[in-house]
Amino acid sequence: MITLFTHIKELIQVENSPKKMVVGKAMKQLPTIKNAYLLIEDATIIDFGEMTNLPPQKPDHCINLEGQIVLPTWCDSHTHIVFAGNRVQEFTDRIHGLTYKEIAERGGGILNSAKKLQQISEEELYQQSAQRLEEIMQLGTGAVEIKSGYGLTKEAEVKMLRVIKKLNKNYPITIKATFLAAHALPLAYKNDKKGYLNMVIQEILPAVAEENLAEFVDVFCEKGYFSVEDTELLLAAAKKYGLKPKIHVNQFHAIGGVQSGVKFKALSVDHLEEMRIKDIESLKNTQTMPVALPSCSYFLGIPYTPAREMIDAGLPLALASDYNPGSTPSGNMNFVVSTACIKMKMTPEEAINAATINGAYAMNLETSLGSICKGKKANFIVTKQIPSFEFIPYSFGNHQIESVYIEGKPI
Ligand X SMILES: N=CN[C@@H](CCC(=O)O)C(=O)O
Residues of this chain that interact with ligand X (CB under 6 A) are 109-110, 113, 220, 248, 251, 296, 322, 324-327
C-alpha–C-alpha distance, residues 234 and 219, integer Å? 8
**Is 78 flagged in the annotation as binding?**
yes
Contact in structure between 264 and 358 (CB atoms under 8 Å): no
Nearer to Zn ion, 146 or 173 (CB): 146
* Number of Cβ atoms within 10 Å of the Cβ of 151: 24
Contact 73, 407 (CB under 8 A): no
76 binds, among ligand X, Zn ion, none (CB under 5 to 8 A by kind): none
Distance CA 41, CA 316 (A): 32
Cα(149)–Cα(340) distance, rounded to whole angstroms? 26
- The region of 8-16, 45-53, 224-232, 320-328 touching Zn ion under the rule CB under 5 A is 320-328
Query: What DSSP string runs through 156-194?
Result: HHHHHHHHHHHHHHHSSSEEEEEEEEETS--GGGTT-HH
CB 162 within 8 A of CB 213: yes
How many chain residues bind Zn ion (CB under 5 A)? 1
Task: CB nearer to ligand X: give 91 or 391.
Answer: 91
In the complex, least distance from residue 112 CB atom to Zn ion, rounded to whole angstroms: 16
Establish if 222 lies at the interface with Zn ion (CB under 5 A): no
Choices 54-62, 98-106, 163-171, 321-329 (CB under 5 A): range interacting with Zn ion: 321-329
With respect to ligand X, which residue has the nearer C-beta, 73 or 250? 250
C-alpha of 207 from chain center: 25
Closest residue to Zn ion in the complex (CB): 322
359 assigned binding-site residue: no
DSSP labels for 10-44? EEESB-SS--S--BGGGGG---EEEEEEEEEETTE
Q: Which of 364, 336, 370, 366 is nearest to 351 (CA)?
A: 336
96 is in an annotated binding site: no
Q: Please, which residue, 14 or 296, has the CB nearer to ligand X?
A: 296
Work out whether 322 is an interface residue with Zn ion (CB under 5 A): yes
Select from Zn ion, ligand X, none the partner in contact with residue 350, using the beta carbon and a kind-dependent cut-off of 5 to 8 Å.
none
Per the annotation, binding residues for 4-imidazolone-5-propanoate are 87, 150, 183, 251, 327
Per the annotation, binding residues for N-formimidoyl-L-glutamate are 150, 324, 326
Q: Which residues here bind Zn ion, judged by CB under 5 A?
A: 322
